[in-house]
Amino acid sequence: MPDLLINPDLRFNSYGTYLRRRFGCRVSKVNVDGGFTCPNRDGTRGTGGCIYCDNASFSPGGTVAEIPIEIQMAEGMAYHRRRLGSEKFIVYFQKFTNTYAPVERLRDLYARALAHPDVIGISVGTRPDSLSDEALDLLADLAKRHYVCIELGLQSMDDKILQQIGRGHTLTEYLEAVARIEGRGIELCTHLIYGFPGETRDGFLRTADMMAGLPVNSVKIHQLHAVKGTRLAELYHQGDFVPITHQEYVATACDFLEILPPRIAIQRLYGSAPLTIRVAPTWNLKNNQMWFSIVNELKRRGTWQGCRLTDSCLKAGNL
């Protein structure tokens, strides 16, 4: 593995490794619920939300909007200190669309998160169509003094799939948002999902090529999974959503990593949902088993992140 960015034990550039390299200590993300909604649920872009959306499936318990974020942060930080020995924290505004509010409210929430002496920055999950100039200016200003990451949900680069899953935005809107973020001192993470009905492995792998050409600092990928109460769960019960197998997911995730430039850190490699709401797929693997199934497959193949990139791609600044 020639690239210094790659964690030799994992065979990819993990976000945890990146944070330790950058900040010199263990840094954990702490989720908070800032009480936002989403334009794809409140009627601005749509009402039903994305077909797989149930925020309970991707938020740890305890982050409810009625609890002041300071208390949510304190609980999250105590947990990570105890469990991982983390010393510094990034407050992650995760639930729904965390730039979708008047800028005064955003300023208040972000400032309160950054006021804690052990918080080195914020990460803000949002949609490509929900980044106003005012919100972007605010984040760019904060980025002069703190770590600031925008996590943009793209999920698929195929407009047909975006339409089919009710995302309410297009690839073009994602690319426009990326262009507006570039050069503002803000890190950019892109969220991707593999396993949509009708999606092919080749189609998903083209996303890695696209990421290579964009100013993306990190990615999160996970398998499409259905949880109770979502339209995707209905499709599953009707036989119209056939989840990919664990083997297919691991193989595709490894293929993806092999063509992803080492400069792009990996924030997430799989998705999980509480057993009480999980519908499909049911791979019956614990989180660390999911993680290590991908790490072990890279080891078995003798490959690593970016190993299949051409020299010209690496010379183009994709180290």
Which residues of this protein are in contact with ligand SF4, per CB under 6 A?
38, 40-41, 49-50, 53, 96-97, 127, 153
As measured in angstroms, the least distance from the Cβ of 153 to ligand SF4 is 6
Spatial CA neighbour of 21 closest among 45, 40, 3: 3
Which of 224, 266 has the CB closer to ligand SF4? 224
As measured in angstroms, the least distance from the Cβ of 122 to ligand SF4 is 18
Q: Which amino acid is at 281?
A: P
As measured in angstroms, the least distance from the Cβ of 127 to ligand SF4 is 5
Which of 181, 250 has the CB closer to ligand SF4? 181
Alpha helix segments (H runs only) across the chain: 15-23, 69-84, 103-114, 133-142, 159-164, 171-181, 201-212, 231-238, 246-258, 287-301, 311-313
As measured in angstroms, the least distance from the Cβ of 236 to ligand SF4 is 17
Which of 16, 34 has the CB closer to ligand SF4? 34
Contact 34, 208 (CB under 8 A): no
Residues composing the chain: 319
Which of 2, 48 has the CB closer to ligand SF4? 48
Which of 128, 306 has the CB closer to ligand SF4? 128
What are 91's strand-pairing partners? 30, 122
As measured in angstroms, the least distance from the Cβ of 50 to ligand SF4 is 3
As measured in angstroms, the least distance from the Cβ of 82 to ligand SF4 is 30
Which of 47, 247 has the CB closer to ligand SF4? 47
Spatial CA neighbour of 6 closest among 215, 197, 193, 264: 264
Which of 17, 40 has the CB closer to ligand SF4? 40
User: What is the DSSP pairing of strand 278-280 with strand 226-227?
Assistant: antiparallel
Question: Which tokens sit at 140?
Answer: 């760019």
d(CA 264, CA 236): 33
What are 193's strand-pairing partners? 222
3-state secondary structure of 123: strand
| CA gyration radius, the chain | 19
As measured in angstroms, the least distance from the Cβ of 317 to ligand SF4 is 31
